Amino acid sequence: MPIKIQSDLPARATLENEHIFVMTEQRAAQQDIRPLKIGIVNLMPTKIATETQLLRLLANSPLQVEISLVHMEKHISRNTGQEHLERFYITSQQVLDTKFDGMIITGAPVEQLPFEQVDYWDDLCRIMDYANRNVFCTLYICWGAQAGLYHHYGIPKHHLPRKLSGIYMNRCTTWAEPLLRGFDDLFPSPQSRHTTVFKSDIQQIPQLTLLAESDDAGVVLVKSNDNRQIFMTGHLEYDTETLALEYERDRQKNADAVMPENYFPDDNPAKAPRSIWRSTAHLFYSNWLNYYVYQETPFTFI
């Protein structure tokens, strides 16, 4: 089934060229079906790229999905035009008056700041509290995962001695977990962050379960035992070239920037990287939509 988006959203052309079934609002209005309503709180600076990445993955299921993109109204975006935000996004305040079946809170390049110093922290906390009461399942990604673990459970983040960047193999730490259904015993995931959370801190919280970890990247997947929150420290949504673009950006700021590990063939940035996580990403988001959103949501909102 398709993903429902606005007809002039920039991601539409990219997705249609990839033969991903998207449906405009006009066509969706002619169908007698109640789509899943997913809110995407997009905190990434490259908002259009992140929109496309997530929509691509959310469209890969038999379910019709209706997307609401959310931006933080008190934050001035330096990389995305105000016209785009006003046309395609609702504000962080409007979220509190909107019903969603599922929600995604993305990463953000602010992990080196204390949470309380992020200029939209108070607004984000209100959204996280709202989601905890009103959304069937919220998926927190990268810095979003650290923010959620800190806000809901008091788990701190810790600075790494160097940026963690690259593709890392992870192992499942629990079995019969619907979110990991169909996963191999080892699966790859992109990582791109300066901070981490400790496994020992997760294990101190009885309401949380560690689902996957890596010898090199640490904690990878955590869920709340009531299945209302999923925390993913990596970026399964990343395109093949995303880490390369980040590396080039970092090199322009610092010639000694950390090169992504296990990413460029022969560790040669002149060689084009290849994705080895695409199938894992599609499976993960399909499982999340099916088992943690669709199976829990009623046909009509209460």
Active site residues: 142, 235, 237
Long-range contacts of 174-179 (CB under 8 A, 24+ apart): 174/209, 174/210, 174/211, 177/211, 178/287, 178/290, 178/291, 178/292, 179/211, 179/221, 179/223, 179/230, 179/284, 179/287, 179/288, 179/291, 179/292
Residues in the chain: 302
Exposed/middle/buried for residue 200 (C-beta within 10 Å: 0-12, 13-18, 19+): exposed
Tokens at residue 292, please? 């943690």
Whole-angstrom distance between the N-terminal and C-terminal Cα of the chain? 24
What count of Cα atoms within 13 Å lies in the side-chain half-sphere of residue 67?
28
What count of Cα atoms within 13 Å lies in the side-chain half-sphere of residue 39?
29
Say if CB 74 and CB 119 are below 8 A apart. Answer: yes
At 236, the amino acid letter reads L
At 157, the amino acid letter reads K
Exposed/middle/buried for residue 153 (C-beta within 10 Å: 0-12, 13-18, 19+): middle
